[in-house]
Amino acid sequence: MPRVQSIPDVCDVSLFGRARAGATPEVVLEVAHGATRARDFDALRAALRGPYPADLREFFFVNTDVGAPEVALKVAEMLVAARPARPVAVIRCLVPRTFLDVNRLIDTDTQPSTSKPGEMTPGLHAWVRDPDDRALLFARYRAYRALVERAIDACCTAGGRAVMVHTYAPRSIDVPVDEHIVVNLRAAYAPERIESWPLRAPVDLILDTPDGRRLADPELVVRLQQAYATKEIAVELNGAYALHPITLAGMLAERHPQRVLCLELRRDLLVPEFTPFQEMSVDPAKVERMAAPLATALL
């Protein structure tokens, strides 16, 4: 097993079972948008020197995957509880997607950009203008991507599985992602407008490429549907988006057919109260409810 360990300011790696002794994980749970705490945003913002929108922290709270790290860790605990020697790894990214999205295939030539409603959000956001800031962000991106590829390549080549755990907001809200993002989002979340946006499924399995090719294991998909059905949790397939080739998840799913799974869980089903512009904590009971079917299917 290639050395996989935490990298300061880049990611936290948690090893379970025999993975602690260096065994290749049978399951790698990757949380690309694992920077979910105020301190994650504040630490990176303090390291950056360029000017940034004053309300950017609010966008961070709206747009990060609250609950995803806790679900991944709970699934790992459940897998190892069922078989204590089982090697499992959880990789939690600490780079807020508010500045750079590690779940994009980007390089140092990538330019800061915006996105229109309905488009995939940028890999590097338009407000990252300072060249030193870009250099710092790309260095952390390269470190994260290299570690994730090493871990998942080793796991899947040995017959294991990789699971990309994400969470999404309760409703599908399409607004431009530009320097007016928080103003646009606050308007979209206004009480008189919020219910006009489509309500998302509790669980969305992201399985297919944009041209309709299924990259996930069909038997695992059936097991997931059955496991969530026992808890009366609805599951959708490719409801929010497709497994796009310019994402790290898409690239790894192409590299390891039927060994990689990407899924979204609805954030309001993981927290005591969904407060989009503020830091949120998770409800452990809700986390366990959403994690248990995933662990069952993986077992």
Quote the percentage of the chain above a pLDDT of 90.
92
Percent over 70 (pLDDT), the chain = 99
Q: Confidence class of residue 294 from pLDDT cuts 50, 70 and 90?
A: very high
Starting from the edge strand earliest in sequence, which strands make up the sheet with 203-206, in order?
A: 11-16, 88-93, 27-31, 161-168, 260-266, 203-206, 235-237
How is residue 131 written in tokens? 């060249």
185-216 confidence digits (pLDDT tens): 999 999 999 999 999 999 999 999 999 999 99
pLDDT attached to residue 275: 96
Domain ranges of the chain: 11-298
pLDDT at 187: 96
Q: Show Cβ contacts of residue 180 under 8 Å, excluding neighbours closer than 6 positions.
A: none
Look at residue 10 and tell me whether its pLDDT is greater than 90.
Answer: yes
d(CA 68, CA 112): 26
pLDDT of amino acid 295: 98
- Count CA atoms closer than 13 A to 157's CA, side-chain side: 9
Q: Look at residue 75 in the predicted model and tell me its pLDDT.
A: 98
Q: What pLDDT was estimated at residue 222? A: 98
Q: Please give the pLDDT value at position 132.
A: 97
Per-residue pLDDT at 117: 83
pLDDT classification of 2: cutoffs 50, 70, 90: low
Which region holds residue 22: left if phi is over 0, alpha if psi is between -120 and 50, else beta? Answer: left
Instruction: Answer yes or no: is pLDDT of 1 > 80.
Output: no
pLDDT of 140 reads 98
pLDDT in tens, 244-287: 999 999 999 999 999 999 999 999 999 999 999 999 999 999 99
Average pLDDT over the chain reads 96
**Other Cβ atoms closer than 10 A to 105:** 14
Answer whether residue 178 shows pLDDT above 80.
yes
- Cβ atoms of 53 and 183 within 8 Å: the answer is no
Query: Around Cβ 54, how many Cβ atoms within 10 Å?
Result: 8
Query: At residue 115, does pLDDT exceed 90?
Result: no
> What is the residue whose two structure tokens read 């869980």?
265
**Residue 3: pLDDT over 80:** no
Q: Are 232 and 297 in contact (CB under 8 A)?
A: no
pLDDT of residue 120: 82
Beta-strand pair 161-168/260-266: parallel
Question: Residue 63: which H helix or E strand, with range?
Answer: helix 56-63
Query: Rounded to the nearest 5°, which phi and psi values hold at 250?
Result: -65, -45
> In the CATH scheme, what is the code of domain 11-298?
3.40.630.40
Q: How high is the pLDDT of residue 119?
A: 79
Read off the tokens for 181: 């993002």
pLDDT digits (tens, 9 = 90+) for 220-247: 999 999 999 999 999 999 999 999 999 9
